[in-house]
Amino acid sequence: MALVVGALIAATQLQAQINNSKLNTGSAEGGVLGALADAGNSMVTEQLVTIQQGSPVTKNGVTVTPTTVGPDLYWIVAISDLKAMNYLPSSWNITKSTINNAPYALSFKRSPTGCAPVNCSIDGSVVLTGSINDTGATGQYDSVVVGAILNKLGVRGGVSLPQSPGTITGYGNSWSIPNPVGGTPPGVAAAYFGTTSGTNSQFVRIQDSRNPDLQGPLSVAGNISTPAGIAGNTINATTSVTAGGAVTGATFKSANNCFQVDASGRVGTSCFSPTDMPAGWSGGVSTGDVYSHSNIGVGTGGAISASLKSDGAIRGAAGDFMVANNGVIGLNAKGTSGAACSSSTGNVGALTVDSSGTLLNCVGGVWRPVGGRQQKQTFYIASDGAVVPSPGCPSTASAQIVVVPSTIYVNPTAAISYTGPGSGPWTINIRDGSNAPVPGATAQVETYCAYS
Q: Is residue 351 within a helix (H) or strand (E), and if so which, with residue range?
A: strand 351-353
Burial code (b: 16+ CB inside 10 Å, e: under 16) for 154-175 equals eebbbbbeeeebebbbbeeeeb
Q: Which residue has the higher pLDDT, 229 or 374?
A: 374
Residue in 135, 190, 201, 140 with CA at minimum distance from that of residue 160:
190
What whole-number percentage of the chain has pLDDT above 90?
31
- Please check the confidence at residue 298 and state whether its pLDDT lies above 70: yes
> β-strands 329-331, 72-77: how paired?
unpaired
Q: Assign 272 a pLDDT band (cuts: 50, 70, 90).
A: confident
Q: Assign 306 a pLDDT band (cuts: 50, 70, 90).
A: confident
Distance separating alpha carbons of residues 169 and 179, to the nearest angstrom? 9
Mean pLDDT confidence for 101-126: 93
Mean pLDDT confidence for 152-174: 92
Residue in 262, 242, 243, 244 with CA at minimum distance from that of residue 252:
262
Distance separating alpha carbons of residues 285 and 44, to the nearest angstrom? 57
pLDDT given at position 109: 96
298 phi/psi in degrees, rounded to 5 = -130, 150
Mean pLDDT confidence for 241-249: 69
- Please check the confidence at residue 348 and state whether its pLDDT lies above 90: no
pLDDT given at position 198: 42
pLDDT given at position 201: 47
- Please check the confidence at residue 400 and state whether its pLDDT lies above 80: yes
Domains of the chain by residue range: 25-194, 306-372, 374-450
Residue in 170, 220, 210, 208 with CA at minimum distance from that of residue 52:
208
Mean pLDDT confidence for 200-220: 52
pLDDT given at position 197: 46
Q: Assign 325 a pLDDT band (cuts: 50, 70, 90).
A: low
Question: 171: which DSSP letter?
Answer: G
pLDDT given at position 9: 57
pLDDT given at position 342: 63
- Please check the confidence at residue 54 and state whether its pLDDT lies above 50: yes
* Average pLDDT value over all residues in the chain: 77
Mean pLDDT confidence for 217-222: 52
CA angle 190, 196, 200 (to 5 degrees): 100
Bridge partners, 63 (sequence order): 58
Mean pLDDT confidence for 84-111: 94
pLDDT given at position 182: 93
Distance separating alpha carbons of residues 206 and 215, to the nearest angstrom? 9
Taking the CA atoms of residue 31, residue 33, residue 39 and residue 43 in that order, the dihedral angle to the nearest 10 degrees is -150
Q: Is residue 402 within a helix (H) or strand (E), and if so which, with residue range?
A: strand 398-407
Reported as half-sphere exposure (CB side, CA atoms, 13 A), residue 146 has a value of: 24
Q: Is residue 128 within a helix (H) or strand (E), and if so which, with residue range?
A: strand 121-128
What whole-number percentage of the chain has pLDDT above 70?
68
Ramachandran region, residue 342 (left: φ > 0; alpha: ψ -120 to 50; beta: rest): beta
Q: Assign 33 a pLDDT band (cuts: 50, 70, 90).
A: very high
Residue in 407, 414, 415, 404 with CA at minimum distance from that of residue 379:
404
Distance separating alpha carbons of residues 428 and 408, to the nearest angstrom? 14
Question: 143: which DSSP letter?
Answer: H
Residue in 207, 105, 127 with CA at minimum distance from that of residue 175:
127
Query: C-alpha distances in angstroms, 181 versus 186, 191, 231, 299?
Result: 10, 15, 54, 73
Q: Which residue has the higher pLDDT, 284 or 442?
A: 442
In the three-class reduction of DSSP (H, G, I as helix; E, B as strand; rest coil), residue 15 is classed as helix
Cβ 345 vs Cβ 386: under 8 Å: no
pTM over 0.75, yes/no: no
Mean pLDDT confidence for 220-246: 60
The per-residue pLDDT for range 252-262, each reduced to its tens digit, is 676 676 777 77
Distance separating alpha carbons of residues 329 and 315, to the nearest angstrom? 11
pLDDT given at position 242: 73
**Gyration radius (Cα) of the chain, Å:** 48
The per-residue pLDDT for range 2-27, each reduced to its tens digit, is 554 444 555 455 555 656 777 888 89
pLDDT given at position 401: 78
The per-residue pLDDT for range 69-91, each reduced to its tens digit, is 999 999 999 999 999 999 999 99
Largest CA distance in the chain: 148
Mean pLDDT confidence for 136-155: 83
pLDDT given at position 29: 93
pLDDT given at position 258: 74
Task: Walk across the sheet containing 398-407 and list its strands.
Answer: 374-383, 442-450, 398-407
Q: Assign 126 a pLDDT band (cuts: 50, 70, 90).
A: very high
pLDDT given at position 10: 52
